[in-house]
Amino acid sequence: MNNAGAIPFGLLPDSATVSSDGSLEIGGCSLLDIAAEFGTPAFVYDTDHIRTRCREAIEAFGPGRVVYATKAFLCRAVARLVYEEGLLLDVASGGELHVVRSAGVPASACTMHGNNKSVAELRLAISERVRHIVVDSFDELDRLDALHAEGLPAPDVLLRITPGVHAHTHEYIATGQDDSKFGFNLGNGDAELAAKRAASSTSVNLVGLHCHIGSNVFAADSYAKAAELIAGFAAPYELPELVVGGGLGVAYVTGEQAPTIADWAAAVAAGCRAAGVTSNVSVEPGRAIVASAAVTIYEVGTIKPIPGVRTYVAVDGGMSDNPRPVLYGSGYEAFLPRAPEAERPYAARVVGKHCESGDILLFDARLPADVAVGDLLAVPVTGAYGHSMGSNYNKVPRPPVVFAAGGEARAVVRRETIDDLLATDLG
Where in the sequence numbering do the catalytic residues fall? 355
Which phi and psi (to 5°) does residue 68 adopt? Answer: -75, 130
Residue 139 near residue 157, CB atoms below 8 Å: no
- Are 331 and 363 spatial neighbours (Cβ–Cβ below 8 Å)? yes
Q: What angle do CA 240, 152, 280 make, to 5 degrees?
A: 10
CB of 314 closer than 8 Å to CB of 351: yes
Phi, psi of 342 (to 5 degrees): -75, 145
CB 48 within 8 A of CB 14: yes
Closest CA to 16 of 395, 383, 272, 424: 383
Would you list the DSSP string of 154-185? PPEEEEEEE-----SS-GGGB-SSSS-SSSEE
Helices (H), 188-260: 190-200, 220-234
At 198, is the secondary structure helix, strand, or coil? helix
Interatomic CA distance for residues 311 and 348, integer angstroms: 5
d(CA 274, CA 288): 25
**Which value, in Å, is the radius of gyration of the alpha carbons in the chain?**
22
Kind of pairing, strands 360-367 and 376-380?
unpaired
Eight-class DSSP state of 112: E
Q: Which of 50, 26, 51, 31 is closest to 41 using CA atoms? A: 31
